[in-house]
């Protein structure tokens, strides 16, 4: 009787030890996959090997919804997603689709599709939108304008890190650097149609719809 009781006690201790070992192993495996919230991902078409950090979550907009004040980073992610959709689209004066688009039509399409904000069609009208922004205070979503030689003005969308999304007349839809010698020479002004936080909130409303 004493032997049997001792055996049962020993068996119980061994069983509990095995369960504890499995539980600690499970916690280790789970934390290995969850505790690293970001990973680097190459974005197609970005110049110079620029590697913005993308969230692991399936939908970064839903993740940022938990924040009371959505960051400008969310606007940048949305603009990079639009870049993936439009990259390589050829430039066509008067064009408004992915068969061919000009600079102001690209801006108009991106703002309508991403932020549900209707901007005017032409560069001349867009340059009167919102409020002026100093070059050293640019934020993702600001409109940047240029006056190159010729009759036409050029417009793009600042995405952060000194870069802007636009429809280049020579290379189509692409991302360029503001400090590129050409764009630096012909930089004109910038306008903020909406504050970055308001643009991000429009993204969140769209997710809820």
SS3 for 131? strand
Residues 99-108 pLDDT 10s: 999 999 999 9
Predicted local distance difference test score (pLDDT) of residue 157: 98
Residues 6+ apart with CB under 8 A from 26: none
pTM score of the predicted model: 0.68
Residues 13-47 pLDDT 10s: 444 333 333 333 333 333 322 223 322 233 333 44
Predicted local distance difference test score (pLDDT) of residue 59: 54
Residues of the chain falling short of pLDDT 70: 1-70, 205-209
Catalytic residue among 22, 28, 99, 154: 154
Nearest to 74 by CA among 203, 207, 205, 206: 203
Predicted local distance difference test score (pLDDT) of residue 71: 74
Predicted local distance difference test score (pLDDT) of residue 159: 97
32 given a catalytic annotation: no
22 given a catalytic annotation: no
């Amino acid at each position: 009787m004493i032997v049997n009781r001792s055996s049962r006690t020993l068996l119980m201790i061994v069983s509990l030890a095995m369960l504890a070992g499995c539980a600690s192993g499970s916690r280790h495996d789970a934390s290995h996959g969850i505790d690293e919230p970001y990973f680097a991902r190459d974005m197609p078409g970005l110049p110079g090997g620029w590697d913005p950090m993308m969230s692991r979550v399936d939908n970064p907009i839903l993740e940022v919804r938990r924040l009371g004040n959505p960051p400008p980073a969310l606007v940048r992610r949305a603009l990079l997603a639009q870049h993936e959709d439009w990259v390589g689209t050829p430039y066509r004066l008067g064009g408004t689709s992915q068969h061919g688009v000009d600079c102001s039509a690209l801006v108009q399409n991106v703002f309508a599709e991403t932020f549900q904000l209707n901007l005017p069609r032409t560069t001349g009208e867009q340059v009167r939108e919102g409020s002026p922004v100093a070059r050293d205070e640019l934020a993702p979503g600001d409109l940047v304008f240029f006056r190159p030689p010729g009759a036409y003005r050029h417009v793009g969308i600042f995405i952060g890190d000194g870069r802007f999304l636009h429809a280049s007349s020579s290379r189509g839809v692409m991302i360029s650097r503001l400090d590129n010698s050409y764009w630096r020479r012909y930089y004109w002004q910038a306008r903020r149609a909406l504050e970055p936080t308001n643009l991000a909130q429009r993204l969140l409303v769209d997710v809820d719809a």
